């Protein structure tokens, strides 16, 4: 049975032998079976659709409707109404009037103005063609991400992880829903790749591209400040200034003020249709779901803040010591950074969990080192548990009001911390 040396000299902690459960054959079959079932069910729904409307009344690429609306409104010069939730509802009711008169929901657009400007170009093609183009671009981003992953380490190990990523429910939800998770995953992968290569300034510039989803930018930026990586911060600052200049040049200062005003309403807007709290996988989702119906909103916010602070303190302990991008510890530290980014995010749905494949790939990059490899059994347990949970978390969390994802991510941070303490 494999063992690992703990922090205290002379103490041995046995690790479970899971080779009988996680056989190579099962590792290949289960993800493929899940993907086949999911795709089959979706294609049956698409085949029964009429004019982009599925049998359940939802439009194909439902989440993309918000992006299309933003691009269309920006392209028509109606940016002044984009951050008015009532105007968004009115737009979607008009859009859906002829193809589904029973439409009652609203897919809210919560991203910044410059993102709406970028979306105006595909939106000019119309909903159907722009959605197809969006799908092609999403797959292209994933192909580019895979290419970077394969450059990190052994193609054999990378192939197994890529198969896992494609077969994750989050991969399919992000693609079918028309979400932007593939773009976020690529940007974070480029950011990590550049940091590993020692190109801090370019890494900061790449990170600035996440301004369209700022909740994924905050923790990495905070870590760069914590570690005093001034070149990376300068690159991030340059990207931020360019983004701000573009927004002001195209839409004016008032668009930024409107966006900030909408952000202050985020807590209330999260309660509207389409933002089911059981879909949230971060600390926010856990405490909001746990306290739903009996815990005051202020108490929920305090608990989320406390849990987030504790998670960030643990992340800080992972990053203690010198910054060394050529050490096997560095990839482990980056994997902890990515996991903490998800764990503390105020807005983290099923499709965003696609980003959880990045910490797994970073672990595989580090596993070539002998001192890291001996702890691989614990890594397999966490990945297997996370994969199974993500496949069923929606049904379980909705039924029993329990969201286990934060604890799996917290376990990842603790496990990485313990491995780093024994890694030179």
**Percent of residues in the chain assigned helix, strand, coil, to nearest 5:** 70, 0, 25
What pTM value is reported for the model?
Answer: 0.86
- pLDDT surpassing 90 at residue 317: yes
Q: What integer is the mean pLDDT of 386-397?
A: 78
* Domain boundaries, given as residue ranges, for the chain: 275-424
10 band by pLDDT with thresholds 50, 70 and 90: very low
> Angle at CA 215, nearest 5°, toward 211 and 216?
75
pLDDT of residue 12: 47
Phi first, then psi, for residue 50 (nearest 5°) are -140, 115
pLDDT tens figures, 46-96: 666 665 565 555 677 778 989 999 999 999 999 989 999 889 988 988 888
* Per-residue confidence band for 374, with pLDDT thresholds at 50, 70 and 90: low
Confidence grade of residue 244 (pLDDT, cut at 50, 70, 90)? very high
Task: Identify the band that residue 24 occupies on the pLDDT scale cut at 50, 70 and 90.
Answer: low
Where does the pLDDT of residue 191 fall: very low under 50, low under 70, confident under 90, or very high at 90 and above?
very high
Distance CA 152, CA 14 (A): 30
Spatial distance between the Cα atoms of 318 and 339, rounded to a whole number of angstroms: 12
pLDDT value of position 380 = 72
Q: Is 269:110 a contact under the CB 8 Å cutoff?
A: yes
89: buried, middle or exposed (CB in 10 Å: 19+, 13-18, 0-12)?
A: middle
Closest by CA position to 53, among listed 89, 94, 100: 100
Q: CB neighbours (10 Å) of residue 325?
A: 16
The mean pLDDT value for 313-323 works out to 93
Q: Could you please report the per-residue DSSP string of 349-397?
A: -GGGGGGGHHHHHHHHHHTTSHHHHTTHHHHHHHHHHHHHHHHHHHHHH
Contact 214, 202 (CB under 8 A): no
- What confidence tier does 406 reach under pLDDT thresholds 50, 70, 90? very high
Read off the pLDDT of residues 289-308 as tens digits, 9 standing for 90 and up.
Answer: 888 878 888 898 899 999 99
Q: How does residue 227 score in pLDDT terms, banded at 50, 70 and 90?
A: very high
Task: Identify any residues that bridge with 50 across adjacent strands, giving them in sequence order.
Answer: 53
User: Quick one: pLDDT at residue 2?
Assistant: 44
Q: Is the pLDDT of residue 11 over 60?
A: no
Pairing, β 3-5 against β 12-14: antiparallel
Mean pLDDT of the region 406-417: 91
CA–CA separation, 181 and 316 (whole Å)? 26
Range in 103-107, 142-146, 154-158, 340-344 the model is least confident about: 154-158
Percent of the chain's residues with pLDDT above 90 = 41
DSSP 8-class letter at 58: P
Three-state DSSP class for residue 335: helix
Alpha carbon separation from 82 to 180, 263, 267 (Å, rounded): 19, 13, 18
- 3: β partners: 14
């Amino acid at each position: 049975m494999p063992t690992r040396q703990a922090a205290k000299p002379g103490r041995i902690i046995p690790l479970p032998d899971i080779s009988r459960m996680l056989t190579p054959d099962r590792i290949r079959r289960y993800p493929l079976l899940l993907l086949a079932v999911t795709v089959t069910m979706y294609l049956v729904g698409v085949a029964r659709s009429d004019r982009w409307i599925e049998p359940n009344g939802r439009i194909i690429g439902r989440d993309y409707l918000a992006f299309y609306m933003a691009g269309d409104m920006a392209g028509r010069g109606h940016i002044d109404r984009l951050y008015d939730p009532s105007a968004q509802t009115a737009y979607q009711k008009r859009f859906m009037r002829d193809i589904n008169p029973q439409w009652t929901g609203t897919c809210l657009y919560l991203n910044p103005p410059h993102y709406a400007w970028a979306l105006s170009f595909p939106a000019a093609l119309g909903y159907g063609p722009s959605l197809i183009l969006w799908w092609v671009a999403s797959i292209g981003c994933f192909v580019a991400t895979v290419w970077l992953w394969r450059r990190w380490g052994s193609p054999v190990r990378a192939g197994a992880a890529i198969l896992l990523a494609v077969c994750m429910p989050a991969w399919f939800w992000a693609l079918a829903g028309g979400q932007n998770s593939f773009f976020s995953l690529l940007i974070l992968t480029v950011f990590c790749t550049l940091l590993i290569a020692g190109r801090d300034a370019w890494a900061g510039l790449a990170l600035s591209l996440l301004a369209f989803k700022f909740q994924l930018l905050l923790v990495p930026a905070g870590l760069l400040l914590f570690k005093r990586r001034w070149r990376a911060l300068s690159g991030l600052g340059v990207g931020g200034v360019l983004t701000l200049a573009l927004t002001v040049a195209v839409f004016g200062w008032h668009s930024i003020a409107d966006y900030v005003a909408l952000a202050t309403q985020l807590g209330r807007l999260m309660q509207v249709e389409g933002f089911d709290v059981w879909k949230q996988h971060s600390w926010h989702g856990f405490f909001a779901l746990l306290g739903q119906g009996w815990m005051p909103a202020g108490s929920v916010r305090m608990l989320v803040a406390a849990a987030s602070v504790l998670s960030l303190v643990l992340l800080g302990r992972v990053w203690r010591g010198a910054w060394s991008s050529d050490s096997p510890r560095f990839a482990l530290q980056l994997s902890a950074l990515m996991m903490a980014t998800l764990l503390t995010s105020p807005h983290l749905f099923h499709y965003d969990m696609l980003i959880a494949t990045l910490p797994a790939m970073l672990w595989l990059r580090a596993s070539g080192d002998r001192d890291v490899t001996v702890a691989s059994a614990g890594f397999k347990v966490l990945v297997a548990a996370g994969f199974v949970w993500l496949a069923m978390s929606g049904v379980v969390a909705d039924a029993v009001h329990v969201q286990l994802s934060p604890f799996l991510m917290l376990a990842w941070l603790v496990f990485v911390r313990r491995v780093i303490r024994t890694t030179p």
